[in-house]
Chain A
């Protein structure tokens, strides 16, 4: 996973060219659109995947979010970072898809989601890899049981490495609200991980 330092350098580098890219996209430059997509696609996909716990739905959410973003670039005023805006669109799409899922279909088992990740434990023994993977699956499963309002702030903070201020900007809420949601979310997550069902 990226460290927070590399995440911040990524943001700094991308912000230098981002404005130019956005302007070019508004002019209809397909290359700029592609580059803007490439810059953000993995982070947006990760957010959607961890929000929804379903690779198929995450793909839909990413597609909808990017289509909405590119179509609505003229409405992006540039007061917030493009990434914040895109995350907000993605979270909205996830919320809509979750509502739809509650109506239409059951959850896909989390094991089916695991395959899309890059494995990085080449030096670990098979037992250690399995133990680590089991822990991750348990944490991810517990995350999926949290309410979306808590899950989203935890994901943005500890997966996407956004600062509390950036999360507040993304979610259009106050810094105090984000801090409080993070606190409560982590407490709930800890509680879920302690429950006997999760420790299997």
Chain B
């Protein structure tokens, strides 16, 4: 057998052993031709690398929208109907639905033009709800945070300082060569918060810098007190590492996939020292 032909047939011999499609001439050739045997070995290594790439898990939120779309055009079995939503009895009354929508839009428009006639800043909830960002059992909180942050415009640091009273620390590079990727602003009640995202090309981490006036809400997440770099911290029991700590007038929420406490201590120390300096 010629090398050219052998290489074209190598795919059959790769991992399925002695399949009937694999001509015996190929095996005989591989035994005596070093170059083709090397090629075969290289291919085996490559396919092993491909197989080592971990499988992703489909996000949970896909199913409801699929079902909604499917049931819109695919009626359920005879006698069954979609369970009536207790708050949407007008599903079968389009006129009522349209009228309600118009009223809601009008109210929203009026409130957005004159917000302070309706809400004083003190009445607006100053709570940062982090429970929806944090995954209890599977890694990926950082990505959830990134996705959530995508809804907010990144800002240049100068512009942030001009427009927002919150003083933020935003080093370009922190421990382990994590480099600043973006700074985004969030309004939490009357207060500002900044979300910094860092990446070292392999992993990412997010840091929230929030005024002490904002209440951090972790929902039903378990947490434990701990000390990191002689700083009092709270650690959430989640798949990703979520630490909170305070320094000066600012509280920090650090979400990282890196569970190495030495690394996290370096980040906490860096941010704390900056704020502890008079």
Chain A residue numbers with a CB within 8 Å of B62 are: 41, 45, 59, 62-63, 66
Q: In terms of DSSP, what is the predominant structure of the interface of chain A? A: helix
A115 to B138, CA, bound (A): 10
- B residues 110-162 in Cβ contact with A at 8 Å: 138-140, 142-143, 146-147
A50 to B54, CA, bound (A): 11
When the two chains form their complex, are residues A67 and B55 in contact, meaning their CB atoms are under 8 A apart? Answer: no
When the two chains form their complex, are residues B74 and A28 in contact, meaning their CB atoms are under 8 A apart? Answer: yes
- A residues 36-77 in Cβ contact with B at 8 Å: 37, 41-42, 44-46, 49-50, 55-56, 59, 62-63, 66-67, 70-71
Which of B52, B70, B257 neighbours the largest number of chain A CB atoms within 10 Å of its CB? B70
Which stretch from B6-14, B98-106, B213-221, B266-274 is at the chain A interface? B6-14
Which of B65, B66, B143 neighbours the largest number of chain A CB atoms within 10 Å of its CB? B66
How many residues from B make CB contacts under 8 Å with A? 51
A-B contact count (CB 8 A): 147
Q: Known contacts A135-B49, A164-B12; can you find 18 more A-B pairs with CB under 8 A?
A: A1-B52, A4-B15, A34-B67, A45-B59, A46-B55, A62-B58, A63-B69, A111-B202, A111-B204, A115-B257, A116-B56, A118-B54, A118-B55, A139-B50, A158-B50, A159-B55, A183-B10, A190-B46
6 CB < 8 A contacts A-B: A1-B55, A46-B55, A115-B140, A115-B143, A135-B49, A136-B52
Name B's A-contacting residues (CB within 8 A): 7-8, 10-12, 15, 42-43, 46-47, 49-59, 62-63, 65-67, 69-71, 73-78, 80, 138-140, 142-143, 146-147, 199, 201-204, 257-258, 260
